[in-house]
């Protein structure tokens, strides 16, 4: 039996996206609006074209006080 995954990556919450900076897999909680890469710390905005597919919408820009 093969352990190769096909289709979208599945994390702890069932959905993962790839970091655009370091290519690490980021686990996305259901209906999350933002995620942070556990490897490099880049924060992303997330959108959901369907309930089981998460996509990166853009990078969260840090605002200075």
Q: Which domain holds residue 53?
A: 15-59
d(CA 61, CA 37): 14
| Residue 8, in any domain of the structure | no
7 is a domain residue? no
Residue 2 lies in a domain: no
Q: How many CB atoms lie within 10 A of CB 35?
A: 21
- Determine, yes or no, domain membership for 41: yes
Domains in the chain: how many in total?
Answer: 1
Whether residue 6 is contained in a domain is answered as no
Model confidence, pTM: 0.75
Q: Which residue has the tokens 């897999």?
A: 25
H or E, element range at 48: strand 43-50
pLDDT at 65 > cutoff 90: no
Identify the DSSP state of 22: T
Predicted confidence at residue 62, as pLDDT, reads 74
Closest Cα to residue 15, out of 64, 48, 42? 48
pLDDT given for residue 41 in this prediction: 95
pLDDT on residue 23: 96
Residue 1, domain member (yes or no)? no
Q: Average pLDDT, stretch 4-31?
A: 78
Confidence band, pLDDT 50/70/90 cuts, at residue 25? very high
């Amino acid at each position: 039996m093969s352990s190769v995954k096909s289709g979208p990556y599945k994390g702890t919450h069932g959905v993962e996206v790839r970091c655009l900076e370091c290519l690490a897999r980021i686990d996305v909680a259901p209906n999350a609006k933002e995620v942070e890469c556990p490897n490099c710390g880049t924060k992303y905005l997330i959108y959901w074209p369907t309930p089981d597919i998460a996509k990166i919408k853009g990078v969260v820009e840090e605002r200075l006080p």
